[in-house]
C-alpha cells in the first residue's frame, strides 16, 4: 500500500512538473520570458475610447460598454460616483441613461428604488474600451 502511495505521489510530481513547460509554451505570459524577479517592461498605455451615443451591444442582454472615461470615478463603501449621473434621480439632468431595470431587483426578485447590492460594483460588468489589437485570435461574432 505504501509503495503504491509513493508511486502515486511520485507520478503526480512528474506529471505536474512534466506538464509545466508544455503549458508555458502554449500560453505565453504577457511578461514575455522575463524572470520573475526582473522588472516587467513598460506597456503601451492605451487611451480609453469615448463614443457619443454609446457602443453597439453584441447581444441583447450584454452589459453595455462604458463609452466615457472613468478614471476619476470612485466605487467603494462610502460612495459610488457613477450614480451621480446614472441613478434614477439624476439620469435626466445629466443626460445619461438610467441604470438597467434589473439593477433594482434583489436575488429574490423583489424590486426596490435603490440600486441592489448585486449591481453596486458597476465595473464588475461594465468596462471601458481601448483601441487595441486582440492578444489572441478571436472569432467571436456578435448577434
From its phi and psi, is residue 54 left (phi > 0), alpha (psi between -120 and 50) or beta? left
Contact with ligand HEC (CB under 6 A) among 94, 106, 114, 130? 94
Binding of ligand HEC at residue 88 (CB under 6 A)? no
Least spacing, CB of residue 46 vs ligand HEC, in Å:
18
Our CB check for ligand HEC shows the closer of 13 and 121 to be 121
Q: Rounded to an integer, what distance in angstroms lies between the CA atom of residue 56 and that of residue 61?
A: 12
Contact with ligand HEC (CB under 6 A) among 85, 104, 105, 116? 85
Least spacing, CB of residue 1 vs ligand HEC, in Å:
50
Our CB check for ligand HEC shows the closer of 21 and 53 to be 53
Listed as own residue / partner, the contacts of 118-125 with beta carbons closer than 8 Å and 24 or more positions apart are 120/75, 120/80, 121/75, 122/75, 122/80, 122/82, 123/70, 123/75, 125/63
Least spacing, CB of residue 139 vs ligand HEC, in Å:
23
Residues ≥6 apart with Cβ < 8 Å to 71? 48
Our CB check for ligand HEC shows the closer of 49 and 84 to be 84
Task: Give contact residues for ligand HEC (rule: CB under 6 A).
Answer: 52-54, 61, 63-64, 66-68, 70, 73, 80-86, 94-97, 99-103, 115, 119-126
Amino acid at each position: 500500500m505504501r509503495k503504491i502511495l509513493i508511486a502515486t505521489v511520485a507520478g503526480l510530481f512528474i506529471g505536474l512538473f512534466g506538464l509545466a513547460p508544455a503549458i508555458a509554451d502554449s500560453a505565453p505570459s504577457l511578461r514575455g520570458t522575463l524572470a520573475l524577479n526582473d522588472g516587467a517592461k513598460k506597456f503601451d498605455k492605451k487611451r480609453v475610447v469615448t463614443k457619443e451615443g454609446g457602443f453597439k451591444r453584441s447581444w441583447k442582454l450584454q452589459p453595455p460598454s462604458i463609452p466615457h472615461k472613468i478614471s476619476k470615478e470612485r466605487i467603494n463603501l462610502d460612495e459610488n460616483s457613477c450614480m451621480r449621473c446614472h441613478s434614477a434621480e439624476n439620469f435626466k439632468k445629466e443626460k445619461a441613461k438610467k441604470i438597467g431595470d434589473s439593477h433594482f431587483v434583489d436575488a429574490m426578485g423583489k424590486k426596490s428604488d435603490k440600486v441592489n447590492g448585486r449591481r453596486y460594483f458597476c465595473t464588475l460588468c461594465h468596462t471601458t474600451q481601448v483601441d487595441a489589437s486582440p492578444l489572441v485570435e478571436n472569432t467571436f461574432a456578435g448577434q
